[in-house]
Structure 1
Amino acid sequence: MAALTKTRLRVPPLFGAAVLMAMSAAGPGFITQTASFTVLYGASFACAVVVSMIIDVAVQLNVWRILGISGQRAQDLASKVFPGAGQVLTVFVVLGAVVFNIGNVAGTGLGLHNLLGIDSRIGAAISGCLAIGIFLAKSVFTAVDRVMVVLGLVKIALIIALVAVTAPPVGQAAVGTVAPHGLPLLPILTLIGGTVGGFITYSGAHRLIDAGITGVGNLKRIHRGALTGILVACVLRIVLFLGFFGVIATGAHLANRNDAAGSSFLAAFGTAGLHLFGLVFWAAGMTSTIGNSYTTATFLQSYAAPVRRHFNRAVIVLIGLATIVFIAAGQTPQSMLVFAGAINGLVLPIGLGIILWVALRRRDLIAGYQSDRKEADTVRSRPARRNPFPPWLPSDWERTAQYRYPRVLLGAGLAAWLFTAYAAVESLTSIGSIFH
């Protein structure tokens, strides 16, 4: 028994947080979107993938750093910045996450249908029970970390196999990245909303806080965790696009263009491809369901005492609710997913704006800023130098004794905020169209 215990997979909490963020971003919707857009735009879609990766880097590094150092979850920090902002952020995150979770459960059902040939509703029920079982474990976070790592490895390995079999023309993809042809803005906005927006923005950082990895003293670990999660997510996006692009580049006939992802695996591996695709889709649905439900509960616990006292049970209720709704409906209404996507488009600039405001104007909310006020006063007592920053910034900005916020990171965050704010405006048009 001792030997068996030693061989168990041990996942450091920091790596677990990184994987939770990366795998939450790569759910069934992400796989479906990538396959469909790759079929439509070919090599040019590589530009959308790269832009989404750049936005992801700018957003996640800022979110992990501010939330990690402050030791406060997004909604709690937002409430201290602007009264009521935390409640507004929570409503948007939860609303989008609950709807998307139905789609995640549907993905697990479809995955088991392709893998084992069983009815998708039965597959969803089995998957829901497995996900619930994880949160019944004695050491919940340990179980979550292990499951996310194992399923993530399965997902990445199968997608790499698709790339190896199809041997995509990387040179064409590189050209498409810098010189896309006929690529509208919609695929870029959709990919960003599905991989960075909504609950995904905060999943890794909230897991980091639950693991107790917070404060200025843990800055290097926080930064390393964010980079690890971003690296895993970026690798997954790149290989997934290359795998589907490799199928398209060969001129293979897709059996069902409405299911471009499944048809690509079928074209690459033959009949076995559908089973492999089923395993990939099921793993994607499971990881996204777990990450979605966990992150949603971390938002609700600030405003609902029962969730705070019975966190694991709250997560179980969220998983069970999504499973029951899908089984009852038999499918996820497209209008609901469009609505949830539009909501996620609104969440990203709101939450990111609050994070950047803390870096700019509310440095007192970052742990370590107030604690070393005496040394900070010493810094300010030195001979005055011309302030190189705009007058609306605090005079001691970037000069506090214990913690300095990188200007490059702040600039990247502001650029990402401008882009996501535009995306939010575009998302508003989707909300109106689904009710016609």
Structure 2
Amino acid sequence: MSTTDPAGPIGPDSTETRAAKAPSATASGTLIGAIFLMATSAIGPGFITQTTNFTIRMGAAFAAAITISIIVDIAVQLNVWRVIGVSGKRSNTLGNLVLPGLGWAIGAMVALGGLVFNIGNVAGGGLGLNAMLGLDPKIGGVITATLAIGVFLWKVAGKALDSIVVILGFVMIALMIYVTVVSAPPYGEALKQAVIPDKFEFIVVTTLIGGTVGGYITYSGAHRMVDTGIVGPENVRRISRSSVISILVTGVMRFLLFLAILGVVTSGVNLEGVENQAAAAFGAAAGEIGMRIFGVILWGAAITSVVGAAFTSVSFMTKQGASVWTRNIVTVCFIVFSTIVFLLLGQAPTTILIVAGAVNGLILPVGFALILWVAWRRRDLLNGYVYPAWLLVIGVVTWLLTIFLGWQSLGGLAQLWSGG
């Protein structure tokens, strides 16, 4: 998931630098753009690969897992965005104020999860170029990482990427709708299974949650909100509305992709054992052109996700006052290391992308606990804001659910990695 700043590129002119000088009118104007970019960039390679794999594996019953994950995502983001937005402080800063060193500890876990996910993002870039041009996935991954590094070292590249992300977002949405209509999925069965599924797997729900609001993804949108300057108790409605809209848009896209793949699967096309299942599914629905266009979409999602995962993870690893040059160099090293690990693992890209979501789902309860503690006990950090009891209760129930899902998923995680 990319953390590209809607007010400008991620690069030498960082969001943190601009935040201090951006007028409030500009911040308000870019809020809608931030929501749109967050929602569309969330539909990265992990999102596409996970949804495709689980649709093939579970069929229409996967609809129930999507429904549960969306409900949990909304509950998590409502609390995370409100606490961070009202306080005006990033999550790692809040952690250090609650208990010295806690923010750095959580930051280390988030950065580790971001590293795992970034390996998957580089792999996704390889899958995208493989579908688009027929390149070897490893070569495609190296090309993707190299271009992402350019965003942090070349200012013009960062500006160009911002425009490309918006264009690719619209193309992605249009393609999803087109393939969904063409594949003619069983809508009635999907609706039924969303409420009464024939089968259910905890690891699937945990992976979906981790791929949407797990690890670094939990904080990227809220941190970007802080950068716009729309913070404090007076902006509670905007903050809450933005968090829900971004998740709902992502949820709609998840269902569209699910229905598109379901239509292909129920038509009799066998995708079992295919390495790039999503590309094969789009190819089956829309022919050769559909598969190539899918490659362009997947690669665009991958490169923005590489940039976003690296940028957000490094924001947890460096002090807020660190120079832009220092942050960029650390970020470049982060991308290089992710790429080297991807090349050395030799693991199938699809497996990496799925496992990455599951790992982030296991990390989620730790950072979310801090958010809930601040909401419950640290009114001083919320600028005197009285946190709603109903929202806190929803947050606690959701937190307990994420712990339960994570515990139930530990065995399934090993099975995913082994390809079972």
TM category, shorter:
0.7 to 0.9
Distance 1:135 1:87, change over 3 A: same
Alpha-carbon displacement from aligned partner over 1:132-177 (angstroms, at most 9, x marks no partner): 3333454898666444323322222222221121122211111001
- Give the whole-Å Cα distance in 1 for the aligned partners of 2:240 and 2:93: 21
* TM-superposed deviation, 1:229: 1.4
* TM-superposed deviation, 1:213: 2.3
Asked if 1:350 is matched to 2:366, the reply is yes
* TM-superposed deviation, 1:431: 7.2
Asked if 1:217 is matched to 2:234, the reply is yes
Structure 2 equivalent of residue 374 of structure 1: none
Q: Which of structures 1 and 2 has the bigger CA Rg?
A: 1
| Contact 2:46/2:357, CA 8 A, preserved across alignment | no
Q: How does 1:399-414 map to 2 (within 5 A)?
A: 403-414=385-396
Q: Which secondary structure does the structure 1 equivalent of 2:270 belong to?
A: coil
| Contact 1:61/1:223, CA 8 A, preserved across alignment | yes
Structure 1 equivalent of residue 408 of structure 2: 426
* TM-superposed deviation, 1:350: 1.2
- Give the whole-Å Cα distance in 2 for the aligned partners of 1:430 and 1:236: 26
Asked if 1:363 is matched to 2:379, the reply is yes
Aligned length: 393
Distance 1:101 1:414, change over 3 A: same
Identity, in percent, stands at 46
Q: How does 1:370-381 map to 2 (within 5 A)?
A: none
| Match of residue 243, structure 1, among 248, 257, 260 | 260
Q: Which secondary structure does the structure 1 equivalent of 2:394 belong to?
A: helix
| Contact 1:154/1:283, CA 8 A, preserved across alignment | no
Q: How does 1:80-229 map to 2 (within 5 A)?
A: 80-138=97-155, 145-229=162-246
| Contact 2:203/2:412, CA 8 A, preserved across alignment | no
| Match of residue 53, structure 1, among 67, 70, 75 | 70
Q: Which secondary structure does the structure 2 equivalent of 1:326 belong to?
A: helix
Distance 1:136 1:233, change over 3 A: same
| Contact 2:180/2:263, CA 8 A, preserved across alignment | yes
Q: Which secondary structure does the structure 2 equivalent of 1:310 belong to?
A: helix
| Contact 1:116/1:275, CA 8 A, preserved across alignment | yes
| Contact 1:46/1:174, CA 8 A, preserved across alignment | yes
Structure 1 equivalent of residue 332 of structure 2: 316
- Give the whole-Å Cα distance in 2 for the aligned partners of 1:301 and 1:13: 26
* TM-superposed deviation, 1:110: 1.7
Q: Which amino acid aligns with 1:77?
A: L
Alpha-carbon displacement from aligned partner over 1:254-282 (angstroms, at most 9, x marks no partner): 37445432221121122333313312321
- Give the whole-Å Cα distance in 1 for the aligned partners of 2:190 and 2:414: 35
- Give the whole-Å Cα distance in 2 for the aligned partners of 1:38 and 1:292: 26
Give TM-score, length-normalised by structure 1: 0.81
Q: Which amino acid aligns with 2:405?
A: A
| Contact 1:341/1:427, CA 8 A, preserved across alignment | no
Distance 1:299 1:13, change over 3 A: farther
- Give the whole-Å Cα distance in 1 for the aligned partners of 2:61 and 2:268: 16
Distance 1:88 1:424, change over 3 A: farther
Structure 2 equivalent of residue 231 of structure 1: 248
Answer with 64-73 or 278-287: which moved more: 278-287
Q: What are structure 2's unaligned runs of at least 5 residues?
A: 1-7, 10-25
- Give the whole-Å Cα distance in 2 for the aligned partners of 1:357 and 1:234: 28
Answer with 135-144 or 103-112: which moved more: 135-144
- Give the whole-Å Cα distance in 2 for the aligned partners of 1:145 and 1:228: 21
Structure 1 equivalent of residue 4 of structure 2: none
* TM-superposed deviation, 1:188: 1.3
* TM-superposed deviation, 1:292: 0.7
Give TM-score, length-normalised by structure 2: 0.83
Asked if 1:76 is matched to 2:58, the reply is no
Asked if 1:13 is matched to 2:19, the reply is no
Structure 1 equivalent of residue 23 of structure 2: none
Distance 1:268 1:283, change over 3 A: same
RMSD of aligned alpha carbons: 3.0
| Contact 1:52/1:188, CA 8 A, preserved across alignment | yes
Answer with 52-61 or 8-17: which moved more: 8-17
Distance 1:336 1:264, change over 3 A: closer
- Give the whole-Å Cα distance in 2 for the aligned partners of 1:315 and 1:42: 39
- Give the whole-Å Cα distance in 1 for the aligned partners of 2:225 and 2:288: 42
Answer with 279-288 or 307-316: which moved more: 307-316
Q: Which secondary structure does the structure 2 equivalent of 1:405 belong to?
A: coil
Q: Which amino acid aligns with 1:178?
A: V
Q: Which secondary structure does the structure 2 equivalent of 1:68 belong to?
A: helix
| Match of residue 36, structure 1, among 39, 46, 53 | 53
Structure 2 equivalent of residue 298 of structure 1: 315
Q: Which secondary structure does the structure 2 equivalent of 1:171 belong to?
A: helix
Distance 1:320 1:23, change over 3 A: farther
Answer with 219-228 or 138-147: which moved more: 138-147
Answer with 319-328 or 45-54: which moved more: 319-328
Alpha-carbon displacement from aligned partner over 1:392-425 (angstroms, at most 9, x marks no partner): xxxxxxxxxxx44333322221221111011232
Q: Which amino acid aligns with 1:356?
A: L
* TM-superposed deviation, 1:315: 2.7
Distance 1:146 1:416, change over 3 A: farther
